[in-house]
Structure 1
Amino acid sequence: MTTALQPPLPSHPLLRLRLAPQGGMSRAIDGAWWPRSYDLLAELPRLIAELPPVWGQITSVTVNAATWSAVPGRMLVSNQVVRLHRTLTASAAHTIILLAPGQGRWDLTVVPPNTTEEAAEPLMAAVADGQAREAAKKPRC
């Protein structure tokens, strides 16, 4: 009897994040993030740790209060205090806003954690490519 060796599973699942290409073009949405849960305390440190260094040190995050589980006023992420803000704005229901002083603001579309891979992947690609925003601007017949 032979057994096939399987590669070990990663200790941390891969971050599901798709960012728009860097460039001079101003964008309303900078990418898409597909967290594994609505537990911000568990999900946010991983997201911040994987962001491009050019985004700088994130010190403030705004999330929709109706979407995410309990959100404290601040949390420690990689030895840095990150202030957490909650909003009830309908336009921000599926958006997370990241701020880095002197660097800028980045808005990510949040794909709901319970979304299937078949639905999430094309959505994330469309958001990162800017197609979702352009499709929303087109009038419907």
Structure 2
Amino acid sequence: MNSTEGTSHTGFHAGSSSVRDETRAAAEVARRRVRIMPATSYPTLPRPEPVAVPAVRLALKSDGAVRGLLDGAWWPRSRDLLSELPALTAVLDPLWGRITRVAVNPTYWPAIPRKVPVDGRIVKVGWFAAEIDPHKLLLLSYGIGRWDLLIIPPETGAESAARLMAAASDHDGLPLTASALIAAEEGPHGVAPTGAPLGPDKVGEPRVKIA
């Protein structure tokens, strides 16, 4: 009885050892197959196309021109400074030096952010109700100086905007203030009300290049 039990017990262990050996061998074969298996090639996903940024509508006086009261004109597409200023300063930085501060009159701007992110840095924004013409944008360039732009109301028609841009960037023109230029254009031609919101179908492009 004892001998039979011993034999059965020995046989059980021997069988178990054989099963473990076969399992190890199968696992080793599987590992080798995994090592030599070629990498699966997945199709490359198309990269998203970059979103085109609308060109800045801007006209500047040429170098060497008498500055007068204005250095040019800017025709923003909306009254949202947070979205409009980054594109403007990106264009002006290589021309005038890095723009560090901007100031406006709050009359025609519903919200004025204190800071605007531009290319990984911050441009500070301020406002002055009495010191700045309601239709003018004041820019301060790092180590260079101050620049003044006529702000053409966003809802202005293309023809009126082109005339205002030409007048503000003409070094031989009359030294009119920003508001005087707007008033002169409103008289004979009739510019849209400066307080009206910008409509998506009311914006045109002036045929004016940066001077």
Band of TM-score, shorter chain? 0.7 to 0.9
**What whole-Å deviation, never above 9, does each CA across 1:91-126 have from its counterpart, x for those lacking one?**
510000000131010000000000000111011101
Q: What is the CA–CA distance in structure 2 between the aligned matches of 1:18 and 1:106, rounded to whole Å?
A: 13
Matched, 1:29 2:70: yes
TM-score by length of 2: 0.55
Q: Pairwise mapping of residues 10-25 of structure 1 onto structure 2 (< 5 A)? A: 11-23=52-64, 25=66
Which of 71, 88, 102 is 2:129 aligned to? 88
Structure 1 gaps, min length 5: 1-9, 137-141
Question: Structure 1 residue 38: deviation in Å?
Answer: 0.6
1:133 is the counterpart of 2:175: yes
CA separation of 1:129/1:116 partners in 2, compared to 1, >3 Å: closer, same or farther? same
d(CA) in 1 for partners of 2:85, 2:117: 10
Task: Tell me how far apart the structure 1 counterparts of residues 126 and 165 of structure 2 sit (CA, whole Å).
Answer: 24
Q: CA contact under 8 A between 1:95 and 1:110: conserved in structure 2?
A: yes
Question: Which of the two has greater helix per residue?
Answer: 2
After superposition, the CA RMSD in angstroms is 2.1
**Greater share of strand residues, 1 or 2?**
1
How many positions carry a matched residue from both structures?
A: 127
Higher alpha-carbon deviation: 49-58 or 15-24: 49-58
Specify the code of the residue in structure 1 equivalent to 2:166.
A
Unaligned runs of 5+ in 2: 1-50, 181-211
Determine the structure 2 residue equivalent to 1:106. 147
Separation in structure 1 between the aligned mates of residue 138 and residue 105 of structure 2, nearest angstrom? 10
State, as a whole percentage, how many aligned pairs show the same letter.
43
Please list the CA deviations of residues 5-29 of structure 1 after superposition, one character each: whole Å capped at 9, or x if unmatched.
xxxxx82222110001111634321
Normalised to the residue count of structure 1, the TM-score between the two structures is 0.81
Higher-Rg member (1/2):
2
